[in-house]
Structure 1
Amino acid sequence: MREPISRDARLALDLALTLRHDGNGGVADDLTDPVGLSAWVRAHAGLLPAGARDRAGHPDPVRRADRGDTTAAGAVRPADVGARGAGPTAGTAQLVAVRELRAAVRALFARAVRPGEPSPADAARLMPVSEAVRRLNETAARTPTVPVLDWPENAGPVLRRQPVHGTADLAAALAHAAIAFLASPDRDRLRACHAPRCVRYFLKEHPRQEWCTPSCGNRARVARHHERHRARA
């Protein structure tokens, strides 16, 4: 039976998977520019809080190094339209925040999987765990909250904190999802795929799963077969 994947786990995992194999023996990065981040946000619109989605569509002031001009917040630059779909892109400050958060998440993913088995995409250059935890918590704190009182019938009052309407921060929303996932039992299902040419993390959906996809399993079995034949030769 396949295990379901929660919204928080899906967001955290998909953020980590913006680093992926490029098909030519290297690693591709889907978040190299604000346009790429905007495309990723659009693809995950159903998982992100509305405020985070809305703010990702309003870029911060961006200085164009090639022209020396600055675009006002919320304006649509010609370069931002058409490359990956019409509409304004996320700003560079958002991109930096999300990329820094991704580095922290991947460092903590490397700690969560079995020792010595992080993704080869960045296994040799992971940030220290203490720095990753600090960065994750600091990013999560970027969302302003207000106290809200709940007082159900036949129960005592309960204080909870609710994000201020319309001010949700994209990186903070992703940090909240990562914290919820890493603190949940789903963390024990996290694995790094070590099939040839794969750099993905994945969640085991059934006890016998070893690879992130069937195609990775096929490549791994072929590689093992060739290795056995070489060893016998």
Structure 2
Amino acid sequence: MIRVLIVDDEALVRTGLRMILEAVDDIEVVAEADNGAEAITAVARHRPHVVLMDVRMPRMDGVTALREINRYENPPKVVMLTTFDRDEYVHSALRAKAVGFLLKDTAPRDLITAVRTTADGSAVLAPTVTKRLIDAFAGQHSPDAPAARKRLAVLTAREQHVVHAVARGLANAEIARELDMSETTVKAHVSRSLAKLGLTNRVQLALLVRDAG
């Protein structure tokens, strides 16, 4: 059973997420919280496997709570929830090692899949979300281009082709067609690239490519 904590300052959002998740047999919502401070306490008390956490909340925002939660031994996987209209916290959440981002209008089926995927240890970032995140930060100047290029140099040529496709927001199936390889091989290249670079998800990978220019 996958244990989930829902953190959002809007009761209606929490209720909707709970109804969706508890409609399946392998997910249990063990607690709710309406701000980051309550989330930290709830994680210690209920030991969820996955936390769905709003980015912007009163009293304590989701990014601050994420940093504190990650101090725990064997912390849960934290997926940030956002409307993504104007989220200045998105980049900070990625740096704080959120394992994924979901838009609040994510379809119920995709939300359930995301929770299961996260619980299994994979990042949950829809390619459309990846592209929107990259587009949002594309205009920002990065002073770290040489360092980013040096980091990417550890990848093989094929891995670099794959991560550049990831940075363009392509799904694994699209990358497989474009680079003439199987989808399983694409997944393997992405996983190896993340491991080599010490990253946790596709958006961090794409942002590194962007930083490298």
Instruction: Give TM-score scaled by structure 2 length.
Output: 0.28
Q: In terms of Rg, which structure is larger? A: 1
Q: Relative to total residues, which structure has the larger helix share, 1 or 2?
A: 2
Structure with greater contact order relative to length (CA < 8 Å, sep ≥ 6): 1
Instruction: Give TM-score scaled by structure 1 length.
Output: 0.26
